[in-house]
Amino acid sequence: MTEFTNVTITKAANVYFDGKVTSRKITFTDGSFKTLGIMMPGDYKFGTAEKELMEITGGDCEILLPGSSEWQTIQGGESFYVPANSEFEIKAKTIVDYCCNYISE
């Protein structure tokens, strides 16, 4: 899917880590939402509330998932799940373009 249709987009960006990570929220007609974001190269730790499916649209990164001691390499076109109520670490090796899907369970 290269675009999302019939969505509402919030005009103001969400800004994290002094702007090194920014995202925009898109809301679907059923009330569900995703965020489309950009990470500048750097190391970040994120917490989750809901389960997340992180799609890396572009760029290269390494991730450390909760309960794992091993970093995984993720490239543009790949994705990974993060459990609800957890934390994960990500090292953006390049500019990373992502789509975060929030999954109610």
Output 36 or 54, the one with its CB closest to a second copy: 36
Nearer to a second copy, 15 or 84 (CB): 15
Residue 3 C-beta-side C-alpha neighbours within 13 Å: 4
23 versus 48: smaller Cβ distance to a second copy: 23
- Interface residue with a second copy, options 44, 57, 64, 91 (CB under 8 A): 57
C-alpha distances out from residue 2 to 57, 77, 82, 88, 99, Å: 10, 11, 23, 26, 11
CA 16, 17, 20, 21: dihedral to nearest 10 degrees?
A: -30
For residues 86 and 56, what is the distance between their CA atoms, to the nearest angstrom? 19
CB of 65 to a second copy, least distance (A): 23
**Which residue stretch of 14-22, 42-50, 67-75, 80-88 sits at the interface with a second copy (rule: CB under 8 A)?**
14-22
Q: Which residues bind a second copy (CB under 8 A)?
A: 1-13, 15, 18-19, 22, 24, 26, 36, 38, 40, 57-58, 94-95, 97, 99
